[in-house]
Structure 1
Amino acid sequence: MIKVAHSPDADDLFMYYAIVFGWVDSPLGQKFSHTALDIQTLNEATIKGIYDVSAISFGAYPFVKEDFALLKTGVSFGQGYGPKLIKKKSTHLKKNFKVALSGAHTTNAIIFRLAYPEAKIIYKNFLDIEESVLSGEVDGGVLIHESILNFDSSLEVEREIWDIWCEQTKEELPLPLGGMALRRSIPLNKAIDIESVLTGAVEVALKNKKTLSKMLMERNIIRVNEKELDTYLNLYANDNSVSLNEIQKQGIDKLFELGFQAGIYDRLIKCEDYFIPTLYQNLRHT
């Protein structure tokens, strides 16, 4: 049984549930179990090596590169949108303002720290960040996942993480948010099969978006309404989620470069060196 972990946000559920519903099978007969946890818990679990396959923040990948391969599918990027730094209206954020972030290894936290080095950071489950701002526990918070679509009217966006990303990169590369990683100890033929199954799940989900969305809504596992779900999936579970393209790879490499320059990562890496090698599969069929 292959243990797969993903976040409970709508795009991860959407991209995985074609497997749960039996729409995609493994040619090798591999079976999958799944667990839904918040993204920082998944980042930490992957660092500890708990799951066979896990959704992770791209910002966390350099910390697990020796033990996990980076998958090319099930990816979520921002392109002109993404996490939002919010605060109460009519308030001013000082240089050392207190802020709630969704986890130290998340992409949004890494980019935030580049722009606000003096901010006092506390880490919260992403579902609790809005309330932390409303209660006054923190001055600001970075909203992620579906929270960016609908938050309290007393709050406003101070800054888009996308804008910080563009300022740091000096170009408009896709903002790498979430990806998937697979344990390197899994035999290569099985690893290739797992990635193929996960890719197929995303493809099938997109082809049957209306039906699958309805099934997820009927089971009450989605935190937004039907209209918000459609909006959210258009942002984070779309044709660009099926398989990494070259411009997305450039975005990942730029994130790794920024993190290395800031001393967050111990060495500079390129994502191309950490994918599952498919040459084995090609050789088998020649």
Structure 2
Amino acid sequence: MRILKVGHSPDADDLFMYYAINFGWVGNPEIRFESCALDIETLNLKALQGELDISAISFGVYPLLALEQCLLRTGVSFGAGYGPKLIKPRGKNLKRNFKVALSGAHTTNAMLFRIAYPEARIVYKNFLEIENAVLNGEVDAGVLIHESILTFDDRLEVEREIWDIWCELNQANLPLPLGGMCLRRSLPLSVAITCEEMLTKAVEVALHNKPLLSSMLQERNLIRVDSKQLETYLNLYANEDSVSLNETQLKAINALFKIGYDHKIYSQILSVEDCLIPTEYKDFRTQ
């Protein structure tokens, strides 16, 4: 049996889309996944260093690791009219060089934020620490991600939606590419295809058994929000559009890559279609 290390974040949508495998609802006799839950920037860094076989990542980091990792079609999270939020204390006016806490240098929201606010003074924190950093005055503002966008303190208010920055930059009313999954190119292609199929099946099974899986995650204290907030959050980020990349989502990722190139964040423009696993290989082998 081949044992593969898989990284995912501890936020609700990643857990929901992956845990059908941990619960034994989806499996393969030749492959076993060993999972670990880490914050998204740690996962981005581990992907850059090639420390995991499969990992959740921010789409914003992918062009930096494209030579070593391919993108998976499944387990994706996009914003459609919503996404990370730049928050500040109520009534506070932000200066041009305001101090802000972001969840990691390689996250998609950090990339878009830096383009929109080039004079801001950035500090990077674990996403769970950002709200308190704003409340205690350590920073002037912060960008909230994951479930925090639903539950932040009433003493805070939204200065700007990252979604609005995205819309201004892409000018095409495309969904905001936030998170996806990548897989080491050094794995055999047949194994890579099987892994993608397993992970896709896990998302499908999760959606088909949403009430049961949600309840099981909450019973095990794996989720940081109540049942109503969990349902709201999953409707945003773990839904039918998470199963497999569609044409609109592919266009959105390509738009993100071009924006990064135009602002000198990436050294070349990638086409996402060239970064996916060539699943037709499976058909060729069986002919």
Distance in 1 separating the partners of 2:154 and 2:131: 11
Structure 1 counterpart of 2:210: 209
Distance in 2 separating the partners of 1:240 and 1:153: 31
Aligned amino acid, residue 14 of structure 1: F
Listed as ranges, the matches of 1:1-286 within 5 Å are 1-26=3-28, 29-286=30-287
Aligned amino acid, residue 94 of structure 1: K
Distance in 1 separating the partners of 2:159 and 2:115: 16
Deviation at 1:106, TM superposition (A): 0.2
Tell me, what secondary structure is at the counterpart of 1:81? coil
Distance in 2 separating the partners of 1:159 and 1:131: 18
Aligned amino acid, residue 235 of structure 1: L
Deviates more, 1:203-212 or 1:270-279: 270-279
Distance in 1 separating the partners of 2:240 and 2:285: 29
Aligned amino acid, residue 3 of structure 1: K
Deviation at 1:279, TM superposition (A): 1.9
Aligned amino acid, residue 10 of structure 1: A
What number of residue pairs does the alignment pair up?
285
TM-score calculated relative to the size of structure 2: 0.98
Tell me, what secondary structure is at the counterpart of 1:45? helix
Aligned amino acid, residue 247 of structure 1: T
Residue segments in structure 1 that go unaligned for 5+ positions in a row: none
The list of structure 1 runs, each at least 4 consecutive aligned residues, that deviate by more than 3 angstroms after superposition, is none
Distance in 1 separating the partners of 2:280 and 2:246: 18
Distance in 2 separating the partners of 1:130 and 1:75: 25
Distance in 2 separating the partners of 1:120 and 1:224: 31
Q: Deviations over 1:97-131 (max 9, x none)?
A: 00000001000000011110110101000000000
Tell me, what secondary structure is at the counterpart of 2:147? helix
Aligned amino acid, residue 46 of structure 2: A
Aligned amino acid, residue 129 of structure 2: D
Distance in 2 separating the partners of 1:192 and 1:209: 25
Distance in 1 separating the partners of 2:194 and 2:226: 34
Distance in 2 separating the partners of 1:172 and 1:117: 24
Deviation at 1:282, TM superposition (A): 1.2
Deviation at 1:280, TM superposition (A): 1.1
Aligned amino acid, residue 122 of structure 2: I
Distance in 2 separating the partners of 1:259 and 1:271: 14
Tell me, what secondary structure is at the counterpart of 2:151? coil
Tell me, what secondary structure is at the counterpart of 1:182? strand
Deviation at 1:285, TM superposition (A): 2.8
TM-score calculated relative to the size of structure 1: 0.99
Deviation at 1:284, TM superposition (A): 2.2
Residue segments in structure 2 that go unaligned for 5+ positions in a row: none
Deviation at 1:236, TM superposition (A): 0.3
Q: Deviations over 1:252-272 (max 9, x none)?
A: 001100001111111111110
Distance in 1 separating the partners of 2:124 and 2:51: 22
Tell me, what secondary structure is at the counterpart of 1:22? coil
RMSD: 0.7
Deviation at 1:226, TM superposition (A): 0.5
Aligned amino acid, residue 206 of structure 1: L
Tell me, what secondary structure is at the counterpart of 1:149? helix
